[in-house]
Amino acid sequence: MWALLQLLLHDELPYLVILILAWPIAVLNAYLCYRHFVFRSTGSMRKELPRFSLVYVATLIGALAALPFLLRTLSLNIYVIQAGYTVAAVALSYLAHKFFSFGGRPRSTARSDSGEVEDVER
Protein backbone atom coordinates (compact mmCIF):
# COMPACT_ATOMS: atom_id res chain seq x y z
CA MET A 1 0.00 0.00 0.00
CA TRP A 2 2.78 2.42 0.93
CA ALA A 3 4.68 1.79 -2.31
CA LEU A 4 1.58 2.46 -4.41
CA LEU A 5 0.76 5.68 -2.57
CA GLN A 6 4.42 6.73 -2.70
CA LEU A 7 4.47 6.18 -6.45
CA LEU A 8 1.25 8.13 -6.96
CA LEU A 9 1.66 10.93 -4.41
CA HIS A 10 5.41 11.52 -3.98
CA ASP A 11 5.26 14.85 -5.85
CA GLU A 12 2.39 16.19 -3.71
CA LEU A 13 3.11 14.82 -0.21
CA PRO A 14 6.18 14.12 1.93
CA TYR A 15 7.05 10.44 2.28
CA LEU A 16 6.27 10.42 6.01
CA VAL A 17 2.74 11.71 5.38
CA ILE A 18 2.30 8.99 2.78
CA LEU A 19 3.50 6.45 5.33
CA ILE A 20 0.84 7.61 7.79
CA LEU A 21 -1.89 7.59 5.11
CA ALA A 22 -1.02 4.04 4.06
CA TRP A 23 -0.99 2.73 7.63
CA PRO A 24 -4.73 2.22 8.33
CA ILE A 25 -5.34 0.60 4.95
CA ALA A 26 -2.37 -1.72 5.35
CA VAL A 27 -3.27 -2.64 8.93
CA LEU A 28 -6.85 -3.54 8.05
CA ASN A 29 -5.68 -5.63 5.10
CA ALA A 30 -3.02 -7.32 7.23
CA TYR A 31 -5.50 -8.03 10.02
CA LEU A 32 -7.96 -9.72 7.70
CA CYS A 33 -5.23 -11.83 6.09
CA TYR A 34 -3.57 -12.80 9.39
CA ARG A 35 -6.94 -13.55 10.99
CA HIS A 36 -8.21 -15.81 8.21
CA PHE A 37 -5.14 -17.30 6.56
CA VAL A 38 -2.31 -17.30 9.10
CA PHE A 39 -3.86 -17.81 12.53
CA ARG A 40 -7.35 -18.99 11.45
CA SER A 41 -8.76 -17.08 14.36
CA THR A 42 -12.32 -17.38 15.54
CA GLY A 43 -11.79 -14.95 18.41
CA SER A 44 -13.59 -11.68 18.93
CA MET A 45 -12.63 -8.99 16.43
CA ARG A 46 -13.40 -6.42 19.15
CA LYS A 47 -10.56 -7.86 21.22
CA GLU A 48 -8.16 -8.82 18.44
CA LEU A 49 -8.22 -5.76 16.19
CA PRO A 50 -7.15 -3.23 18.85
CA ARG A 51 -4.34 -5.53 19.98
CA PHE A 52 -3.33 -6.13 16.37
CA SER A 53 -3.36 -2.40 15.66
CA LEU A 54 -1.24 -1.70 18.73
CA VAL A 55 1.49 -3.94 17.34
CA TYR A 56 1.41 -1.95 14.11
CA VAL A 57 1.47 1.37 15.96
CA ALA A 58 4.87 0.26 17.22
CA THR A 59 6.04 -0.57 13.70
CA LEU A 60 4.68 2.77 12.43
CA ILE A 61 6.59 4.68 15.11
CA GLY A 62 9.69 2.67 14.24
CA ALA A 63 9.27 3.45 10.55
CA LEU A 64 8.73 7.16 11.20
CA ALA A 65 12.03 7.21 13.10
CA ALA A 66 14.03 4.77 10.95
CA LEU A 67 13.10 5.89 7.45
CA PRO A 68 14.55 9.44 7.63
CA PHE A 69 17.69 8.14 9.38
CA LEU A 70 18.21 5.35 6.86
CA LEU A 71 17.61 7.68 3.91
CA ARG A 72 20.32 10.02 5.22
CA THR A 73 22.85 7.31 6.02
CA LEU A 74 22.39 4.76 3.24
CA SER A 75 22.73 5.47 -0.44
CA LEU A 76 19.71 3.38 -1.34
CA ASN A 77 16.40 4.10 -2.99
CA ILE A 78 13.46 4.85 -0.65
CA TYR A 79 11.63 1.76 -1.93
CA VAL A 80 14.59 -0.50 -1.11
CA ILE A 81 14.93 0.95 2.37
CA GLN A 82 11.22 0.64 3.09
CA ALA A 83 11.19 -2.92 1.73
CA GLY A 84 14.03 -3.87 4.08
CA TYR A 85 12.25 -2.26 7.01
CA THR A 86 9.04 -4.05 6.07
CA VAL A 87 10.74 -7.45 6.03
CA ALA A 88 12.09 -6.86 9.55
CA ALA A 89 8.74 -5.48 10.74
CA VAL A 90 6.82 -8.47 9.35
CA ALA A 91 9.10 -10.94 11.13
CA LEU A 92 8.87 -9.12 14.47
CA SER A 93 5.17 -8.38 14.17
CA TYR A 94 4.41 -12.03 13.38
CA LEU A 95 5.80 -12.97 16.77
CA ALA A 96 3.86 -10.18 18.46
CA HIS A 97 0.66 -11.29 16.75
CA LYS A 98 1.26 -14.93 17.59
CA PHE A 99 1.70 -14.26 21.31
CA PHE A 100 -0.27 -11.02 21.80
CA SER A 101 -2.85 -10.24 19.11
CA PHE A 102 -4.12 -13.75 18.42
CA GLY A 103 -2.41 -15.66 21.20
CA GLY A 104 -2.03 -15.17 24.87
CA ARG A 105 -5.33 -16.87 25.62
CA PRO A 106 -5.27 -19.20 28.58
CA ARG A 107 -5.26 -22.82 27.53
CA SER A 108 -6.40 -25.82 29.47
CA THR A 109 -6.43 -29.51 28.74
CA ALA A 110 -9.54 -31.52 28.16
CA ARG A 111 -10.27 -35.10 27.29
CA SER A 112 -11.92 -35.81 23.97
CA ASP A 113 -14.60 -38.46 23.52
CA SER A 114 -11.85 -40.93 22.62
CA GLY A 115 -10.04 -40.21 25.91
CA GLU A 116 -7.12 -38.30 24.32
CA VAL A 117 -5.85 -35.20 26.09
CA GLU A 118 -5.95 -32.07 23.90
CA ASP A 119 -5.37 -28.35 24.33
CA VAL A 120 -8.52 -26.23 24.45
CA GLU A 121 -8.80 -22.44 24.35
CA ARG A 122 -10.91 -20.93 27.07
How many C-beta atoms lie closer than 10 Å to residue 81's C-beta? 18
The answer on pLDDT for 91 being more than 80 is yes
Give residues with Cβ within 8 angstroms of 93, minimum separation 6: 55, 56, 59
pLDDT of 115 reads: 56
Round to whole Å and give the CA distance between 78 and 68. Answer: 10
How many C-beta atoms lie closer than 10 Å to residue 52's C-beta? 23
> How many residues make up the chain in this entry?
122
Confidence at 102, pLDDT banded by 50, 70, 90? confident
pLDDT of 39 reads: 86
* Domains of the chain, residue spans: 13-102
Query: Mean pLDDT in the chain?
Result: 86
pLDDT of 107 reads: 45
The answer on pLDDT for 96 being more than 80 is yes
